Amino acid sequence: MRDFLPICKQDMEQRGWQQCDFVYIIADAYVDHPSFGPAIISRVLEAAGYRVGIIAQPDWKDPASITILGEPRLAYLVSGGNMDPMVNHYTVSKKRRQSDAFTPGGMIGKRPDYATVVYCNLIRRVKKDAVIIIGGIEASLRRLAHYDYWSEKFKRSILLDSQADLLLYGMGERSVVEVADALDGGLNIKDITYIDGTVYRSTAADVPVPSITLPSYRQMCENKRLYAESFYTQYCNTDPFSAKVLIEPYGEKEFVIQNPPQKPLTQQEMDRVYALPYQRTYHPSYEAAGGVPAISEVRFSLISCRGCFGGCSFCALTFHQGRIIQTRSHESILQEAKLMTYEPDFKGYIHDVGGPTANFRQPACKKQLTKGACTHKQCLFPKPCNQLIADHSDYVALLRKLRQLPGVKKVFIRSGIRFDYLLADADDTFFRELVRFHVSGQLKVAPEHIADPVLEKMGKPPQAVYEKFLQKYRQLNEHYGLKQYVVPYLMSSHPGSTLKEAVALAEYLRDLGYMPEQVQDFYPTPSTLSTVMYYTGLDPRTMKKVYVPTNPHEKAMQRALIQYRNPKNYDLVQEALVKAGRTDLIGFDKHCLIRPRKLAKEIQESRKAAAKKGGKKSGGMQKKQSEQGKTTRKNRNLPQKGKSPSVPKAGGAKKRK
């Protein structure tokens, strides 16, 4: 296919190519859509005049699979895919997933674990002297020494284990073209040490710009505290305006050196990236397998922004996209939306308009575009900064324009809404229009927990802020005569969560009358503050000790408490309540979470005996027990099928200490 980039020699011949400038090896199927990182990088290189061929999901057991396009003129590019391969493969309990949304037909097993390392080593077997450049989410978040949850080891930089020559971290549009131009100009890959957004290997630690030498890999292996300190230094050097070069020693003559991040793209640059000739779908060769499932989530969605200043501890966005918001113009987004309406499967519904956080459409404050984000201060945590500009007017204007497009029936917002930022805006126009026009019956938000000690470790606002949001949301729904619900994302077993906090969360759900169908255990992924807490037991921000639930059984108890109504969880819930000293929640009162199993058996036997005697002697007791049962059943009522729980009335969810 001429419109897609070449995936075989025949495609190259149709384009009149004898050789590719870059051969791009990716762990996903080939999807040419701007929501997929490899699609953006390949199209950006194409726009810069380079010939790029794609080898998607090669057979890592067969060296010949990476030779189908021949040897590239400049370099091999390698990416682990749109999602970290290990997260793609395994649940938080390290069980193998049953499907892969980024593979044709959802088939599992088409990519290796630690895909970037495996592919690079395969290239080295075939061509020892090949130039290899790695990038994507897997490489970006493993660019320096890191804790690996799946192997439970402290690992070296992926640059060393992969044997690659250069690592591009972050989004990479600028840096990949700069590297390509340098190679095309005849510069040796070992001499490309000056480009922002890159990491390289060196035999010396001499750099001509301000730098910070981190603890050595060996020191961090021996002392977890040193790793926590090193990580926080990295965390404070993620801003492109203030970051220094970071040097990580691996021996007397082996160093991994990280340059500062690339500068944020301007709006014009963002527009150009998203105006490239994407085919907006998967390669047609996948049709026979049923296509690539991941496209369904993004096909009719619009990316309006990039970056996030939310600063959640468990999120790696600070390390990958950065804290400075970058946006596309209204014209760029509207043009993409118009193209969408001509697609035969478009039914009039735009599924999302957003990004990492949907309602971020501008930098947090005026100084960020010239001086960068604050090094040791967050924009929203522990409370909104007094320099924060909370303004949704641009987002409101964009959504209004999209709603008016011919062929568009409804515009939904499904990206995360940062509710504390929403409340910080004195003008509630966006909140009103969100409720009236952009909720598909359920608004998904992420309080993550309700216990303030846990929220503090998460970098999330206090529970009182979430309650204020719920109250306002309920009032607006009542005002507009709508019956819409809030679906809260909740997380169990995050650092800082003891059984006490887990029980408090269960009580909150009891008062809400809601049991989540799914529960997310905290997943320790590379390059997050929370993962460092998990591994070291220290909060890198303060170096204070943090309680960390690492025992699988305790984690199972915390997870079960969130779904305490599920009969399968009874034993775990009972054990958790006993260990937490909360046996007052085992009984028949309406505040109880579960019934005492032994007493329940005795009641059942009593009822059988009463039935045999005609109920004369036990009638009074049976009636009383029946009333207690009704109270419990009433408290356990779940929302109607297909609906989420309504927002509690003001004061309905009692505050617990």
Q: What pLDDT shows up at residue 614?
A: 63
The DSSP output letter for 462 is: -
My answer on whether 458 and 576 are in the same domain is yes
pLDDT digits (tens, 9 = 90+) for 311-343: 999 999 999 999 999 999 999 999 999 999 999
pLDDT at residue 519, as a whole number: 82
Q: Are residues 590 and 605 in the same domain?
A: no
170's CB contacts (< 8 A; 6+ apart) are 140, 197, 261, 262, 320, 321, 322
Q: How many domains are there within the chain? A: 4
**361 & 467 share domain:** no
The stretch 36-58 carries a mean pLDDT of: 98
10 Å CB burial of residue 134 (0-12, 13-18, 19+) is: buried
Tell me the average pLDDT across 344-352. 95
Mean pLDDT of 86-101: 96
Give every CB contact of residue 2 below 8 A, 6+ residues apart in sequence: 11, 14, 15
Mean pLDDT of the chain: 91
CATH classification of the domain holding 84: 3.40.50.280
CATH number where 355 lies = 3.30.750.210
The model's pTM: 0.89
* 463-479 helix and 429-437 helix, angle to the nearest 10 degrees: 60
Both 549 and 421 in one domain: the answer is no
190 and 73 part of one domain: yes
Answer yes or no: is pLDDT of 629 > 50.
no
Give the residue from 424, 440, 456 where a domain finishes: 440
Query: Are 427 and 469 members of one domain?
Result: no
Determine which of 187-196, 364-373, 541-550 has the lowest per-residue pLDDT on average: 364-373
Q: Is the pLDDT of residue 596 over 50?
A: yes
Return the pLDDT at 602. Answer: 58
Is the confidence at residue 31, as pLDDT, over 70? yes
* Same structural domain, 463 and 380: no
Asked if residue 156 belongs to a domain, the reply is yes
Over the Cα atoms of the chain, what is R_g?
Answer: 27
pLDDT tens figures, 459-511:
999 999 999 999 999 999 999 999 999 989 999 999 999 999 999 999 999 99
Same domain, 343 and 397: yes
Considering the chain, what percentage of its residues have pLDDT values greater than 90?
86
Please report whether residue 126 resides in a domain.
yes
pLDDT digit string (tens) for 291-314? 999 999 899 999 999 999 999 999
Closest CA to 81 of 105, 58, 53: 58
Tell me: do 430 and 454 sit in the same domain: no
Segment 548-560 shows an average pLDDT of: 96
Residue 517: inside a domain: yes
Give the mean pLDDT of 176-188: 98
- Same domain for 23 and 64: yes
Residue 70, domain member (yes or no): yes
Of 181, 200, 219, which one is at a domain's C-terminal end?
Answer: 200
- Mean pLDDT confidence for 207-218: 95
Work out the angle at residue 278's Cα, subtended by the Cα atoms of residues 272 and 283, and round it to the nearest 5 degrees: 160
pLDDT for 241 beyond 50: yes
Beta-bridged to residue 168, according to DSSP, are 198
What is the predicted pLDDT for the residue at 649?
38
Q: Is the pLDDT of residue 601 over 70?
A: no
Range of the domain at 406: 300-440
pLDDT higher than 60, residue 158 = yes
For residue 515, what pLDDT band results from cuts at 50, 70 and 90?
confident
User: Is the domain of 55 the same as that of 160?
Assistant: yes
Are 653 and 558 found together in one domain?
yes
Give the model's pLDDT for residue 645. 44
Residue 180 maps to a domain: yes
Asked if residue 97 belongs to a domain, the reply is yes
Q: Are 306 and 262 in contact (CB under 8 A)?
A: no
Arithmetic mean of pLDDT, 611-620: 56
Return the residue matching tokens 């390390």: 319
- Examine residue 387 and state whether it is found in any structural domain, yes or no: yes
Q: What is the structure's pLDDT at 517?
A: 80
Residue 229 lies in a domain: no
Could you say which of 140, 173, 200 is where a domain stops? 200
- Proportion of the chain above pLDDT 70, given as a percent: 91
Is a pLDDT exceeding 60 seen at residue 654? no
Structure tokens at 129: 């002297």
Average pLDDT over residues 215-222: 98
